[in-house]
Amino acid sequence: MSTPSLSPPKVLAFDVFGTVVDWHSGIAREVQALRPAVDGDAFALAWRAGYQPAMRRVMSGELGWTLIDDLHRLILDSILPQFGLIDLTEAQKQHLNKAWHRLDPWPDVLAGLRRLKSRHVICTLSNGNIGLLTNMAKRAGLPWDCILSAEVFRAYKPDPAAYLGVARIFDAAPAEVMLVAAHQDDLAAARACGLQTAYIERPAEFGAARPKDISPHPANTRHATDFLALADQLGC
Amino acid sequence: MSTPSLSPPKVLAFDVFGTVVDWHSGIAREVQALRPAVDGDAFALAWRAGYQPAMRRVMSGELGWTLIDDLHRLILDSILPQFGLIDLTEAQKQHLNKAWHRLDPWPDVLAGLRRLKSRHVICTLSNGNIGLLTNMAKRAGLPWDCILSAEVFRAYKPDPAAYLGVARIFDAAPAEVMLVAAHQDDLAAARACGLQTAYIERPAEFGAARPKDISPHPANTRHATDFLALADQLGC
């Protein structure tokens, strides 16, 4: 997978939902804490399934610029009936909506990020809003050098403005930035902008009972089982 | 100075140049490392004196949006002749321009921020660009939860968009945000937007030989000698 001729990246930019944190079990746990009878697995999948379509409504211009917190709430309101949750109070809905701020990292993340940070600038590049990402980092102890978000660029990934924006902020060439993500489509869009790419296997992203395809794609600069393995590959 | 009736702030937003880091001695040291004969004190003061006028050229529309790194370079180029530095190489000029990324914090800062972080979200609110602030934080070990900059809001302080932008990002009321700064004009602008304010004494900001007025202003929520004293006042 590796391309030894490339220079080591100056900046590692991390996708967050699925790559850094386990949204599936976090959302399932939070809804079941409110209502034990709800199918947490199905609820998490339904909520997440609304994510890409909601961002497309923003990027198409149908909706004005909207933070992910607000898109999460739109999607939540739309799925509450099918899960028998329309009687939640407004305070309960607001609390549940912020479950995305309280997701736990995968087990390798904290140790992996600390190692990667020793030799690289590490930042987020997430469609999540800055407040969400900050609250998540503070709660989980994620040691980002900087929190970058679609909110800074007013463009959701896979818009090139997001990937190229990271390079611009750090006065770096695109090839000096590596996107780290568990999603091949995100990596492909970054690669089209000239970034290096590292694929991270997160087979349980959609739940342990529903393993996802984690096949290597030869176009990625790196392919690693987790952040510790990426740190090994980068010599951190 | 304190106004005990106000709720504790949720977010502490810090001015950086002068409040967190000692730009005067840092810039003086760096220019003297290049050319020992230069008057480092005068050089630092001259470079910094160009800062507010340069930002006014941007906010008036005379210049398009410009990062502080680029404004620093414009000012640097304009003062090189008077200090006999026109023969610096382009690489030396670029290195010197990034001296603003390599400034050291005041002695109380690291311990103070760690205490303040334990009970508040701590972020920058600087006119410095994100890359500069990230490099500075990484080098100095500044433990920000989040790096916010005029670059995020495309508005330099004292534009209200910068102060109100911090509240919006954290889904907070303006009164839930406290600006921490060593400059009364910055604090006055924040107060006009409804933020709480904390003045920090940095008598040696312009050099130990040129102590500045650190008189309390009764309109500030807090007045503290340094970040440790502010942590005491906020019960951190």
Look at residue B3 and tell me whether its pLDDT is greater than 50: no
Domains within chain A, CATH numbers bracketed: 11-22+104-233 (3.40.50.1000), 23-101 (1.10.150.240)
Tell whether B176 is within 8 A of chain A (Cβ): no
C-alpha distance from A170 to closest chain B C-alpha (Å):
5
Q: What is the signed CA dihedral for A32, A37, A40, A41, rounded to 10 degrees?
A: 160
pLDDT of residue A6: 74
pLDDT of residue B6: 74
Integer angstrom CA distances of residue B181 from A126, B2, B227: 30, 16, 10
The ipTM (two decimal places) reads 0.94
- H/E/C letters for each residue in chain B? CCCCCCCCCCEEEECCECCCECHHHHHHHHHHHHCCCCCHHHHHHHHHHCHHHHHHHHHCCCCCCCCHHHHHHHHHHHHCHHHCCCCCCHHHHHHHHHHHHCCCECCCHHHHHHHHHCCCEEEEEECCCHHHHHHHHHHHCCCCCEEEEHHHHCCCCCCHHHHHHHHHHCCCCHHHEEEEECCHHHHHHHHHCCCEEEEECCCCCCCCCCCCCCCCCCCCCEEECCHHHHHHHCCC
A131 contact residues in B (CB cutoff 8 A) = 169-171
Write out chain A's pLDDT in tens, 236 residues: 444 457 899 999 999 999 999 999 999 999 999 999 999 999 999 999 999 999 999 989 999 999 999 999 999 999 999 999 999 999 999 999 999 999 999 999 999 999 999 999 999 999 999 999 999 999 999 999 999 999 999 999 999 999 999 999 999 999 999 999 999 999 999 999 999 999 999 999 999 999 999 999 999 999 999 999 999 999 99
The helix or strand, by DSSP H or E, that contains position A197, with its residue range, turns out to be strand A196-200
Answer for the pair B3, B217: CB distance below 8 angstroms, yes or no: no
Query: Would the CB atoms of B123 and A145 count as touching at under 8 Å?
Result: no
B101 contact residues in A (CB cutoff 8 A) = none
Q: Indicate the pLDDT class of residue B5, thresholds 50, 70 and 90.
A: low
pLDDT, tens only, A11-68 = 999 999 999 999 999 999 999 999 999 999 999 999 999 999 999 999 899 999 999 9
C-alpha distance from A216 to closest chain B C-alpha (Å):
33
C-alpha distance from B133 to closest chain A C-alpha (Å):
9
Tell whether A171 is within 8 A of chain B (Cβ): yes
Q: How far apart are CA A169 and CA A171, in angstroms?
A: 6
Residue with tokens 């050099």: B207
C-alpha distance from A140 to closest chain B C-alpha (Å):
12
A152 contact residues in B (CB cutoff 8 A) = 130, 151-152
In angstroms, how far apart are the furthest CA atoms of chain A? 58
A123 contact residues in B (CB cutoff 8 A) = 134
pLDDT, tens only, B74-91 = 999 999 999 999 999 999
Tell whether B140 is within 8 A of chain A (Cβ): no
Tell whether B122 is within 8 A of chain A (Cβ): no
Single pTM value for the model: 0.95
